[in-house]
Each structure stands twice: as structure tokens, then as C-alpha cells.
Amino acid sequence: MLVVNNLVKRFNSTLAVDDLSFTVKSGKIFGLLGPNGAGKTTTIRTILNIIKPYSGEIIFDGKPITYEYYNIIGYLPEERGLYKRSKVIDVLVYFASLKNVKRKDAIQLSDKWLNKLNISNLREKRIEQLSKGNQQKVQLIAAIIHNPRLLILDEPFTGFDPINQQEVKDLILSFLSEGKTIILSTHQMDLAEKLCEEILLINDGKEVCIGKLSEIKKRFGGNNIRLGFRGNGNYLKEFPEILKFDSYSNYTDVQLKDDVNPSEFLKKLIEKIEVHHFSIIEPTLNKIFIDLIKESLPR
Amino acid sequence: MMKKIIAIARWEYLEKVKTKTFIISLIITPLLIISFSVLPSILFQQESTNVQVLGIIDETGTYFLKLEEELQKYFLPNGQNKYVLINLTQKNQNLEELKNLADKKVLKNLLEGYLIIQTKEKDSILAEYRSDVFGNNEIVSRLEETLNSIRIESILESEGMQSKVISQIQDRTIVQQNKIEEEGRITKSDFLTTFFISIVFILLLMMMVIYSGQLLVRSMIEEKSSRLIEMLVSSSTPDELLAGKVLGLSLLGLTQMVIWALIGLGLVGSALVPQTAFHNVLPMLIYFILGFLFYTTLFVGIGSTVNTEQQAQQITTYLSLILMLPVVIAMPVIQNPDFIVTKIFSYIPLTIPTVMVLRLNVQNVSTLEIVLTISILVLSILIVTKISAKVFRIGILSYGNKLSFKEIINWLKE
């Protein structure tokens, strides 16, 4: 279990991380979400002990994080890159040896993972000869080869095609059963929605929203419907029941006032416009994300 | 701790030793050094193998025959006379016409050059040697010597001195230069040899530092631009990373040295390198290794602040210029090792290794001074390591914008 208490990080006069506190339970995926420049990477770097916090504490399994924890932490940075001119197997063994894995074991583990991700044929190839997706797989292996107890994944899915994305997702989920503590930082809300049990949404280094995903959804659930109709969407402005709406090319998402009954509203709607789709929707994490970030912006 | 440093050093070493550039540099560097240092000295000492035809315009009428006789003591390797003299003097032509004629012959390569001998005041003469090249020192100094001895001889003869006495007078004393190594033991000094050994040493150190420095900075740029560095610093401390890199590079340098030493030994076998080059080998080696460590640590620190290839090039250029300094002062140091500037340079960490090696070769440096300079060097390595580690720790994580000197100072204060 990872506990972060009142974490603050300053760079000169700017506050990069402003009093964050959260807990990541083992066997769970914790989503660290936020727009670009929100302070996610800084938070991660502090947890990784790459940079020192200004104040606050980071405790893993009851003890503060020190350099000793290097060997049980796995980290996949957002921006990828490996030694281009080196061989896949050499790179993997090097990263394993940096985590104090013995050479003999490192070779065995590399082969096991290359097999598991279906790229064992690339073992002797140079990194630069690999496709981008395969390079990412190698980097993912490098991050997990030492069987870390705390795993921090920064945008693990970018650059993968849907099939590989599925593979990576299954891999991450398989770690859960092993009781690993996982922090997932991403922009891809649909994936965060599928994988994370708890999330922390930050903006400008501050906490915007924290908690169980299911509870957050309930909290921000509201009264939402999805409409498909022919004609001009400007009509929607005239309905007093509507709080706000977002138009897309094929449909429009509408948030109704809390006391409005969607069925009653539909009746009223078909009198004005030709409706060909109507459904009641749960808010996506994406929507919550956008709404919350917009709200948290200084006006 | 040690395990990781070794793992990093091993990686840095193996990945670089396998590169083509390393293998090429292994062979090309000594070739360059040899051609820069050995060739000139070989060419310089080489006597020309052709008979040289010299013209003489002798207005005095007394010097030509004696000159011809004296110059017959110089032979070519095949036993032929080296110089053939032609008398260009003609009573009925004036000097200007004779000169024009002779000039023409020189330019047509019929003559190597020609000598004009004129009477000045009663006993002394005026001599001028003309040829189509400058710097024909050998001929000129031989002509000078011969003319002088002829002149002295004729003066003494006219004073009635016996020819036996004259030849005794003409015997010259040559002062042999020797360097005292310790009581009762000397080595024969030879300016060229000293210069040659010292320059080879400086060039070797320079090439090694610049070469490995570039390798290092380039690999660090790769690690930074690909953000690999983040995976590295989440696995080991910056200090371990720094130590591992310096160790790996030093091993790389050592590999180069061993291979070059083998090439050097091969050259000794063929007697190209004089044996005297090796009597100061222990202190020289210490200076070399410490110098290399000093510069490499400096490179790691500075290199970590660099983000692009261009910045790296700038920095390597500056450092190379600093390294060039000893080459510039090599000549004065050898000629005057006790000079105050030389002394100052032998206590500045940047120039200690090279200047001290120069001095070791030309004078007997006191043990105290050797111990003192080595201590200064060791101390400055420790200080540079400390500073470099600090800059490195922050430098490796700063991407994008160019770093100002002020920012780096700020880091050091942190």
C-alpha cells in the first residue's frame, strides 16, 4: 500500500504539486488523471524518489520511500525511448541488472516476457530495427522484468494498435491478482474507466476530485440523455428543462435539470423536432473530466 | 551500491567498445600521432641522397680551392662526394651579370644554389648564399663553418704560425648535455627525443579525453532526448550513475591505452621510439590516469546539462582548447623548465598532468613537487566529482531549454 500525505513540490516560485494526499491499495489500479501540465509527472517523480518533495511524506508498506525501494519499483515513463543501436536482449538484461537481478535470471526473465508478448523472434534485433509498437513492448518489459511490487505506468497505451492495447491491458490486469500496487497515469479516460477502481483528478497541482470511480459517477451522474434528431439543434436552447448540451455530428448529449423526468421531456421534444434516437446515459469519465477541469479553471 | 555501478560501467563499456567509431579510432589515432610526431623528426634527420652542385663566385680569388678541398669531407651514403663545386668567377664580367647568370642556373635546377664571397675590409669577407628555397640550414651552416676556419687559418698562417698549431687551434670543444637522474646516473639529453615523447603523451591524453568525452556526451544526449534517463534514475542514484559512467569510460580509455602501448612496444622493437622514453614511466602513468579521470568527471558534469548535439559540440570545442594549452606552452617549458609561468601551470589542475610530464622529461623534478602536484590533482578530482554529481543530478532531468550559467549556480546552492 502506498500512502502519500500532503505532498508539496515547488520549482522556484511555482507550485507544481499543491498539497496532494492519496492512498493506493495493493491489488488495485489507481488512476492519476489530469490535463497536460497538471503535475502528474512531478507527482510520479517524487514517488519514484527522482526528485525530493518540498514537504509531505510518501510511505510504502509502512516505511518512507528511500533509495532502497528502487529495486521494487517499476516505472514506464510517458515518453518512450531505448538505446537504439543496442540489441533487445542486451537492453533488457541491462535494465534488470540495474534492479539487482542476477544476469542469469535476467536472461531467463527476458525470454519469458518476450515470449509472453509474442516478440521472442526479435530477441537479437537492434532496437532501431523494431516497429514503434514493438519498441514499446520492449520498454514495458524493461519496466516490469524485476517483478516490481509498485508499478507506475505513465500513458502505457499510447502507440499501441487495438490488438496490442488489449494485450497490454490483459497484462496489467494480470498483475492485480499478484497483489501489485499500480498507479496508472493517462489521458485516455475510456481506458482509465475500464481499469481503475479509484482515481485522483488533479489540475494545476491541486486535487480536483478523488475517490472510487463508481461513487464519483454517482456523484456527477446528473440527468443525462443522448439524442439523435433531424434539424437544427438550436431549438434545444429554448427548452427550460435543459441545463446544458454538447452537440456532436451524429448525436447530442443533453444534461437535464435534476427534477426533470426524461420520459416527460421526450414527449415534449417530439412535438418540436424529429427524434430518431433517445437514450439515458451514465456520464463517462471523459465527461466528468472535462466538466471538472473547466469548472476548476479560474474565471 | 557497487553492484549497480559495475552494471552501469559494464554497459557503458561494452556498448561503446563494440561501436565502429571506437574500433576505427583505435587504429587511426596512433597512426595520426605517429605521422605528426615521428615523421618530421625522421625527415629532419635524413640527409639528402643526391649530389649537390654548388656555384661559387669568389671575388677574393683565394677561397674557392680551399673550400672545395674542405667540403670533400662530406660524403653520401654510397661513398660519393656530397658537394660538387663549380667556380663561376670570371674576371671580365661584373658581379651583377654573374649573379643574373647564376640565378638563371639555380632556377633551372642546374645548381642547388651559389655562394658569393666578397672582400669587405682587409681581412674579413662578406658571404651570401642564394638558392631557390629557404631553410637550407645544413648547407649554410657547413659553408659558414668552412669559410670561418679557412679565414682563421689564413690569418694565422700569415702571422707565421705552424700548420700543426693551427689545426690544434681549430679543434673545437663540444659541450655534451646530460640530465642528472640521481647521484651518479645521467641520461643523455636530446631535444628532439624529449619533445617527441612529451608531445606524444599530450596528444594521447588529448585524443583520449576528447574522444571519450564526445562518446559520453553523445550517449547522455541520447538518454536525455529519449527520456531513458528517467528509467535509469528510477533504478539507481545519480551518484551511482555518474560513478558507473566514469568507470566505464576509464575502462574504455584503458583498453585504448593497452592497445596503443602494444603498438608502441612494437615501435620500440623497431627502434623508432628511443628507450629513454620509458625511465619516468611510473609518475607519467599516474599523471596520465589522474588527468584522464579529472577531465572525464568534468565532462560528465558539463555533459549532463547539454540537450542537443550542437551544444555538445560547443562544449567539446572549449574543452579541447583548454587541452591544447599545454601543446602551446610545450616548447617554452622544455627550453626553460624553471620559468615562473611553467611553475604556475604545474599547480593548476587543468594543466598539471601535461606540464608535469613535460617537466619530468627535461629536468629532475623533486619528489616533493611530484607528491604535491599529485595531491592537488587528486583533491581537485574529488571536488570536481562532488560538483559534477550535483550538476548531473539536476542536469539529467532538465530538458528543452538551454541552461544558463546562473541556473547551474543555483543548483549548486540547493
Q: What is the pLDDT of residue A98?
A: 92
More confident residue, A24 or B220: A24
Q: Region B340-367: what's the mean pLDDT?
A: 81
Choose the closest CB to A99 out of B11, B233, B235.
Answer: B235
More confident residue, A193 or A222: A193
More confident residue, B144 or B410: B144
Substitution target in B230, B233, B394, B410 with the highest count of A β-carbons within 10 Å is B230
Least reliable range by pLDDT among A63-77, A144-158, A220-234: A220-234
A22 touches chain B (CB under 8 A): no
More confident residue, A299 or A287: A287
In this structure, what is the dihedral angle of CA atoms B183, B186, B191, B197, given to the nearest 10 degrees? -90
More confident residue, A110 or B272: A110
- Judge residue A84's burial from the number of C-beta atoms within 10 Å of its C-beta, 0-12 exposed, 13-18 middle, 19 or more buried: middle
Residues of A in contact with B11 (CB under 8 A): 94, 97
Is B232 in contact with A81 (Cβ distance < 8 A)? no
| pLDDT-based confidence at residue B278 (cuts at 50, 70, 90) | low
- Determine how many CB atoms are found less than 10 A away from the CB of residue B62: 15
Has residue A224 got a pLDDT over 70?
Answer: yes
Query: Are residues B55 and B68 in contact, defined by beta-carbon separation less than 8 angstroms?
Result: no
Query: Are residues A187 and A7 in contact, defined by beta-carbon separation less than 8 angstroms?
Result: no
Q: Phi and psi for A31 in degrees, rounded to 5?
A: -95, 125
Q: What is the pLDDT of residue B374?
A: 92
Has residue B192 got a pLDDT over 70?
Answer: no
More confident residue, A179 or B187: A179
Choose the closest CB to A82 out of B14, B226, B233.
Answer: B226
Q: Write the pLDDT tens digit of every residue in B194-217.
A: 667 677 777 777 777 777 777 888
Choose the closest CB to B233 out of A50, A94, A142.
Answer: A50
Q: Write the pLDDT tens digit of every residue in B307-326.
A: 777 877 887 778 777 777 77
Has residue B272 got a pLDDT over 60?
Answer: no
Query: Are residues A94 and A52 in contact, defined by beta-carbon separation less than 8 angstroms?
Result: no
Query: Are residues B64 and B139 in contact, defined by beta-carbon separation less than 8 angstroms?
Result: no
Min Cα distance B225 → chain A (Å) is: 8
Choose the closest CB to B7 out of A80, A85, A98.
Answer: A98
Going edge to edge, which strands form the sheet with A198-203?
A73-76, A150-154, A181-186, A29-33, A198-203, A206-212
Cell of B123: 681581412
d(CA A106, CA B2): 18
Q: Region A26-38: what's the mean pLDDT?
A: 88
| pLDDT-based confidence at residue B41 (cuts at 50, 70, 90) | low
Nearest to A228 by CA among A252, A255, A247: A252
Domains and CATH numbers, chain B: 2-42+190-413 (no CATH), 52-169 (3.40.190.10)
d(CA B203, CA B29): 9
d(CA A245, CA B102): 107
The share of chain A scoring above pLDDT 70, in percent, equals 98
Q: Write the pLDDT tens digit of every residue in A64-95.
A: 888 778 889 999 988 888 888 899 999 999 99
Has residue A23 got a pLDDT over 60?
Answer: yes
B125 Cβ neighbours under 8 A, 6+ residues apart: B60, B63, B117, B118, B119, B147, B151
> What type of residue is A135?
Q
Has residue B269 got a pLDDT over 80?
Answer: no
Q: What is the pLDDT of residue B312?
A: 77
Q: What is the pLDDT of residue B185?
A: 63
Substitution target in B6, B218, B229, B234 with the highest count of A β-carbons within 10 Å is B234
Question: What are the angstrom distances between the C-alpha of B286 and each of A200, B94, B282, B383?
Answer: 58, 69, 6, 19
Has residue A244 got a pLDDT over 90?
Answer: no
Minimum Cα–Cα distance from B3: chain A residue: A100
Residues of A in contact with B235 (CB under 8 A): 70-71, 95, 98-99
| SS3 sequence of A113-167 | HHHHCCCHHHCCCEHHHCCHHHHHHHHHHHHHCCCCCEEEEECCCCCCCHHHHHH
| Chain A / chain B CB contacts < 8 angstroms | 65
Q: What is the pLDDT of residue B190?
A: 61
What H or E segment, with its residue span, contains residue A181? strand A181-186
Is B236 in contact with A98 (Cβ distance < 8 A)? yes
Q: Region B59-72: what's the mean pLDDT?
A: 83
Angular region, A60: left φ>0, alpha ψ -120 to 50, beta rest: beta
Query: Are residues B390 and B407 in contact, defined by beta-carbon separation less than 8 angstroms?
Result: no
B8 touches chain A (CB under 8 A): yes
Domains and CATH numbers, chain A: 2-217 (3.40.50.300), 222-281 (3.30.70)
Query: Are residues A201 and A292 in contact, defined by beta-carbon separation less than 8 angstroms?
Result: yes
Choose the closest CB to B231 out of A67, A75, A86.
Answer: A75
More confident residue, B147 or B274: B147
Min Cα distance B258 → chain A (Å) is: 26
Q: Region A290-294: what's the mean pLDDT?
A: 81
Q: Write the pLDDT tens digit of every residue in B81-121.
A: 888 888 888 877 788 888 888 888 888 888 888 888 888 77
**Average pLDDT taken over every residue of chain B:** 78
Min Cα distance B21 → chain A (Å) is: 13
Nearest to A242 by CA among A219, A269, A271, A275: A269
